[in-house]
Amino acid sequence: MRDANDSLIANLPDFLTWRTGNDLTRSACKIHVQYVYHQVKTWSNLANTDLFQSITSLPASSQQRLLLAPRLYTLLRSKARPGVEEIESLHQYLDLERYLCAPGGDRPCDCWSALGDYYLPPDSETFRSPMLGNIVLDACRPLTKTDYPPPMGEVTNHTPKELEFIKWRLEQSMDQISRISRTARSAVEALLQVITVVRAPELTKGTQSFSNKPAIGRMGLANSHSSEWSVSKIADAIVHEAIHALIYKIELINSLYVDDTMESEPVTAVSPWSGRTLRLHSFLHACFVWFGLWNFWSLASREESEAVELKATAANGFLIGHPLSCVPDAALARVRPEVRTAIDEMFKQVIFSVN
């Protein structure tokens, strides 16, 4: 890695070769936890409660579960000053973590853990979500419209038979990631806390992966029972969304822009990879994501049958031309220099390798 004083964004091209270890992942996760600690302390002070002290009195493993939970991050971003409802939700997450530490104590009921891995119904045994190692497979929680992008349309939970098949596919995909790169597998496990799977019958693309900044650490897969997915394509999606999560965490202290107002401005660029018109923020993320996927599939053996195709797809946007040529000059001037330098470096690496 470069000097620690440099922007973490500047370290991304090296990291995304999957050959330099996971120092950047650890730094990003530390940033995430510190950010959530700060937000909880702020809310605790504003609401004049002992929430912060109560959370910090939990065992370290329980604190980690709570503080990295995407739903907690979403809650803490929902309001600058919490109301009664927000404090109650935070208390509910805390009470359930306390109960999991000491099941003989007061039992909350009819509530889910912040990670979505435990549900305590009023009159029956505790429900445990399926797991992929230490990643929660979120497939049974009640569906809320705020959790899914509007273009997906109505979503439903999978049938038990579909879920069994999806879990097998996901396990095979995680095994494939391990075979190709232990660094990538370790990064995925650190950066993704939850994988949500849903049926989306109205989705015109058929299948889709997704993640978003308000729910750092959660990725979704739509229609992952479909024949349009494969083990390799799901592995590709998992690495794809893990890279987004990494950048989201870094952005908590290192903006992609000279001034943060740029993120909300309606500047767009046409992706040379997909041909879609993207908001600038999504486009900049895409440059890093596709570079990471190109490097990932470059490490695959000949036994990984779809690797050549997936590597070519990732390289394609760089081969069409310099990605930053797609960005209007006035907008490009407001992107931080280290971001522009990193994208330029990635472009040159792909072009040099191919030529």
Q: What is the pLDDT of residues 55-88, one digit of tens each?
A: 999 999 999 999 999 999 999 999 999 999 999 9
Average pLDDT over residues 269-280: 95
Res 354: pLDDT: 81
pLDDT at 5 over 80: no
For residue 254 the two structure tokens come to 């290192």
Task: Please report whether residue 335 resides in a domain.
Answer: yes
Task: Please report whether residue 326 resides in a domain.
Answer: yes
How would you class 124 by CB atoms within 10 Å of its CB: exposed for 0-12, middle for 13-18, buried for 19 or more? exposed
How would you class 354 by CB atoms within 10 Å of its CB: exposed for 0-12, middle for 13-18, buried for 19 or more? exposed
Question: In Å, how far from its chain's centre is CA 208?
Answer: 14
Res 355: pLDDT: 73
Res 4: pLDDT: 45
Residue type, 103: P
For residue 51 the two structure tokens come to 């929430």
For Cα atoms 128, 130, 135, give the angle at the middle one, nearest 5 degrees. Answer: 110
As a whole number of angstroms, the distance between CA 312 and CA 236 comes to 13
Contact present, 306 and 233 (Cβ < 8 Å): yes
pLDDT digits (tens, 9 = 90+) for 27-49: 999 999 999 999 999 999 999 99
Res 205: pLDDT: 83
Average pLDDT over residues 226-230: 95
For residue 333 the two structure tokens come to 């001037």
Reference 17, options 307, 294, 278, 238; nearest CA is 294
For residue 232 the two structure tokens come to 């390799």
Reference 71, options 46, 48, 97; nearest CA is 97
SS3 category, 53: helix
Question: In Å, how far from its chain's centre is CA 349?
Answer: 25
Task: Please report whether residue 328 resides in a domain.
Answer: yes
Task: Please report whether residue 66 resides in a domain.
Answer: no
Task: Please report whether residue 314 resides in a domain.
Answer: yes
Q: How many residues are there in the chain?
A: 355
Contact present, 12 and 1 (Cβ < 8 Å): no
Q: What is the pTM of this model?
A: 0.95
As a whole number of angstroms, the distance between CA 65 and CA 97 comes to 9
Task: Please report whether residue 291 resides in a domain.
Answer: yes
As a whole number of angstroms, the distance between CA 24 and CA 31 comes to 11
Res 345: pLDDT: 98
pLDDT digits (tens, 9 = 90+) for 191-210: 999 999 999 999 888 899 99
Residue 272 to residues 206, 313, 316, Cα–Cα distance (Å): 22, 11, 8
pLDDT at 1 over 70: no
pLDDT digits (tens, 9 = 90+) for 141-177: 887 777 888 888 889 999 999 999 999 999 999 999 9
pLDDT at 6 over 70: no
Give the total number of structural domains in the chain: 1
Average pLDDT over residues 253-270: 91
Residue 127 to residues 117, 118, 119, Cα–Cα distance (Å): 8, 6, 5
Question: In Å, how far from its chain's centre is CA 125?
Answer: 31
pLDDT digits (tens, 9 = 90+) for 317-335: 999 999 999 999 999 999 9
For residue 65 the two structure tokens come to 């579960």
Res 3: pLDDT: 43
Domain residues for 352?
255-355
Res 102: pLDDT: 85
Please provide the average confidence, as pLDDT, over all residues in the chain: 93
In percent, the amount of the chain with pLDDT more than 90 equals 84
Task: Please report whether residue 248 resides in a domain.
Answer: no
Res 315: pLDDT: 97
* Count of CB atoms situated within 10 Å of the CB of 22: 19
Task: Please report whether residue 46 resides in a domain.
Answer: no
Which residues is 283 bridged to in the sheet?
Answer: none
As a whole number of angstroms, the distance between CA 83 and CA 97 comes to 22
As a whole number of angstroms, the distance between CA 240 and CA 209 comes to 9
Reference 57, options 74, 44, 69; nearest CA is 44
